[in-house]
Chains A and B, each alone.
Chain A
Amino acid sequence: MTTARRLAAANIGFAVAAFGIAAGMALMQAVSRANLELPWRSPQMYYLSVTAHGVLMALVFTTFFIMGLGVVFTTHALDRPLRWPRLAWASFWVALVGTLAALWAIFWGKATVLYTFYPPMQAHPAFYLGLTLLVVGSWIWSAVIIATYRAWRAEHRETPAPLAVFGMLATIVVWLISTVGVAAEMLLQLIPWSLGWTKTVDPLLARMLFWYFGHPLVYFWLLPAYVVWYTVLPKVSGGKLFSDPLGRMVFALFILLSTPVGFHHQFMDPGISSGWKLLHTFNTLGIIFPSFVTAFTVVASLEIAGRSRGATGWFDWLGKLPWGDPLVSSVLLSMLLFAVGGFGGAINASYGMNSMIHNTAWVQGHFHLTVGSAVALTFMGTAYWLVPKLVRRELELSLLAKVQPYLWFAGMLLFSISNHITGLMGMPRRIYDPSYQGSAIAEAWGGLTGLSALGGLFLFISSAFFLLVMLGTVLAGRPTADTTVAFAEPLEGQPAKRILFDRLGLWIVAAIVLVLIAYAYPLAQHLQMPRFGSPGFRPF
């Protein structure tokens, strides 16, 4: 198990470092958007920083953390070492080298293209090559997890995979299907173009490929968080998993519906016909369902926990939960924030309303609730629970760890509510300065951007607490031998038979069929119309 433990520690350690750098930059951004003067404040700095923050948070922190988590969950739930340990290390190094190359390009000002890198804005080739390597690293990791699972499966023909592993496999399936899109964008379009081998690219084709990847990307982040909600949270709060089969249903539905929805990010794009946007809208509404089911199962599991701690009334089980445990409070608060974010998501998906908020501060308010809280806060809570087991030291500075999730919650409410409102008022996202030459219309955003900056300050302090706890634990925690990673028992006991939802092969085939329906035709149609390429631009 030591390979798995060290590898997981390396992945999570790097993820936490990336998070720390990105959080530092974020404070500056939140303050700049409130138009407060800062030393060295300049458009160059701002947009470079937003690029670094977006890449480090959305692509680096998440991917490395998930790779670490996947290694831990697979090896512990299956109780066997990783297959192909050298390859497993290679996944980490390839992803690391790629990340460093991309960061080099960003911090040297050669890739201020934001984390969505829409062409024809053109970055240094190292940026594209680096991000591609990050994805290649994650593919190698996927292969290692799958191989480990298959080795277990060969010895356990009839047993259903433990839910934690099933959830990670679903994550991997979503990831493998979706990264085909970004790989095509990188390899066929952006890399040859940035190296000067081709002169032009089709910017809309690039956006279609990007969002083919971009929406399932959010489920790549979210599903591992769900695994924690289903399998770790009930255990740590002293309860049981309310329903194991429904958990499997949820993961199977995500395999099915994660990808054929990407056009909901392109409602406002020219060049894509209305009917296909409509189909993606309907699929998007379907994907709300598994999250509703998750809400029930997780809350019911918590009720069991509360009752086993002595609650008897209708709602007093809520109060009996261990709110002082940093994993429990992080996850519970992240779920509350996610509920708000999900509500906004349904609005984004309704194209009529989307035209009010597309590319406004609303969107930034929205995804800081979802990936920035449901995922990131869950991961922070997971780190409090897991890192001590990985480094074999007790959690240090545990008072800070207790306070930190609440501080994040308060900061995020301030930050995201104010951004939702300024978004409704029409304030664009991704702007260095909101003053628009003193326009009276833009002035009306003023007080709220201040609140958003205050929320950013809270979030920054919260991030600092998290980093201090992590550093303290690794450097000064008291040695401990407790390394047990245990998962919640289902209320009705471990399932004995595999059910329909366990049949991964079936779900994968169904998912591919849906993807073909949703994408093959519009892409073919797109490639057939007379199109004009764009040369590259570097306005930074």
Chain B
Amino acid sequence: MHIDLYERFWMWSAGAICAAFFGTIVYGLVSEGTRPPSHVETIDPTAVWSDPRFAQPGVTANPDGSVTVTAVALMFAFQPNEIRVPAGKPVTFRLTSPDVVHGFEIVGTNANTMVIPGYVAQFTTTFATPGEYLMVCHEYCGLGHHAMMGKLIVEEAL
């Protein structure tokens, strides 16, 4: 098969670009441990409120200074809808839904996850800048979807 010289050059370049993307991902993986977000844990969506893991949504401080936020996303609110966390400390969010699929996003940060009934979403992040953040649902969940919101307050660490 005959391939034109310029086209050969182009194909090698395209291959190099793909390889560079590849390399970036591998580099992040190896040096920073940046893996795709994931957490595998199931829960009965019809019994969220009586499940010990979610019976008392809120913020718990851990001995090592990090905090865990347990929250329920439901039609059409977050429970709790105001969350206070310290700046500069790892914050682990744990979320689930007792009804349909929801999303969870803290606007202006990379805190972002799907919230799927039957599963527990969990991720850890750190907020550097104190202030008030907007917390929204980013997956269509019914007629009140655009009103499903809350507030995250990042406080100066003591």
Residues of A within 8 A of B (CB): 43-44, 47, 50, 112, 114, 118, 120-121, 202-204, 207, 242-243, 245-246, 266-274, 277-278, 281-282, 285-286, 288-289, 292-293, 296-297, 300, 346, 350-352, 355-356, 358-360, 425-434, 436-437, 439, 441-442, 492, 499, 529-535, 537, 539-540
Contact = CB atoms under 8 A, between A and B. Distances in A.
Contact of B118 (A425, A428, A442, A533): A533
Contacts of A442: 107, 134
A427 B18 CA distance: 30
Contacts of A202: 118
Contacts of B143: 43-44, 47, 112, 539-540
Contacts of B119: 204, 269-271
A350 B42 contact: no
B85 interface: no
Contact of A203 (B21, B116, B137, B145): B116
B86 interface: no
A427 B134 CA distance: 10
Contacts of B30: none
A114 B14 contact: no
B18 A289 contact: yes
A352 B34 contact: yes
B105 interface: yes
Given A269-B114, A278-B36, A437-B149, 6 more contacts: A121-B100, A271-B119, A296-B6, A425-B107, A430-B145, A492-B2
Contacts of A428: 103, 105, 136-138
A532 B107 contact: no
A245 B7 contact: no
Nearest to B36: A277
Interface in B1-59: 1-4, 6-7, 10-11, 14-15, 17-18, 21-22, 24-25, 28-29, 34-46
Interface residues on B, range: 35 or more
A434 B143 CA distance: 14
B130 to A, nearest CB: 15
A190 to B, nearest CB: 14
A269 B118 CA distance: 12
A204 B118 contact: yes
Contact of B142 (A121, A358, A425, A437): A121
B127 interface: no
Contacts of A535: 46
Given A360-B105, A441-B107, A539-B144, A278 B14 contact: no
Nearest to B13: A292
B100 A270 contact: no
A246 B3 contact: yes
Nearest to A436: B149
A278 B121 CA distance: 18
Contacts of B76: 539
Given A289-B18, A428-B136, A539-B143, A272 B43 contact: no
A278 B117 contact: no
A461 B122 CA distance: 45
Contacts of A300: 4, 6-7
A529 B41 CA distance: 9
A465 B140 CA distance: 32
B35 A274 contact: yes
B17 A355 contact: no
A535 B100 CA distance: 9
Interface in B125-142: 133-134, 136-142
A535 B99 CA distance: 8
